[in-house]
Structure 1
Amino acid sequence: MKNFSSILVELKHRAPVLLAVGLLVISAWACDGSTDQNAADPMEASPRMGGGMPAPDLSARIDGNTIAVQVRVPANHHAYLDAGRDGVLIPISFDWQPLIDAALLRTAPNQVTTPDGSPDEEIGATVLRGAGEFIFETAQADRLDGMSVRVRSQLCNDETGVCYRPTWQEVAL
């Protein structure tokens, strides 16, 4: 049986995740579905998903056998680059399966670089703030021109601590 102090220590480590999930549920209904065009800083005018949730701005390019996907996280927000200390966070990820199913790729491209990001000791994860680039390599990159890849991300507001529900976006290659 655990004593009271060990329970408190355990809760202290899980509190950010529990708080984020609770705030996500509470705040999801409050979004209005628009882009913040009244922000003083142009970086604050970020793309919005349905329901008004902030979303990263995505772009991609193909150069030879290399696919580069640029992810720009809105100001005062972060996205996860790993699942965190407890393995429950949702990092930026890529879904190549539709391109494999369409016989444009044999397998998912090899991810050769991930943005460095910065460690967030409070939540025990590496986070991306600002912009970062993911680099992939595949011998079939030339077949993907004009196609799209799905990108999954979860943004969190640095000021309020609210983490929004994970979303999928498509980026043209």
Structure 2
Amino acid sequence: MVSKGIYIVMGVSGSGKTTVGTLLANTLQLPFFDGDDYHPESNVKKMASGKALNDQDRKEWLETLNRLAREHKSIGAVIACSALKESYRASLRKDVMEQMTFIYLKGSFSAINRRLQGRKGHYMPISLLKSQFETLEPPKDAIEVSINQSPEDIVNSIRDKIT
């Protein structure tokens, strides 16, 4: 039996957070929230113009996602969020630490770069991938899953680790 926790599907842009998060939420029968949908307009415009977000830009966004997690503490949720730095993950965990599990979708720069080249309709330009890898502090306390498999296999692997 899977607990009704808060699962943060994390990784750099293009790692598959939305795809895997949606499948995982369906499998666990939990609501899914895409963190990208909660960025303030100023962040979206900044990224769309090819500029990387800084810690200050992310502060309000992380607080919003933490509030979303706290609102779903009792029923659980899956949230897709890059959560690139430990300080960002600490912001997300505030008041939900015991219920929150991070799931790190790990992939190489070259594999994710290839994915992004085929992605259409996303405001995050491929040029920012390098800055995401530079910002990334791989988590020490997460379920780590390679992106070099099908989304269904990734979800099965995650499910096996959380049940």
Normalising by the smaller structure, the TM-score range is under 0.3
> Going by fraction, where is strand more abundant, 1 or 2?
1
Higher relative contact order (CA 8 A, sep 6+): 2
Rg larger for: 1
User: TM-score under structure 2 normalisation?
Assistant: 0.28
Q: TM-score, normalised by structure 1?
A: 0.27
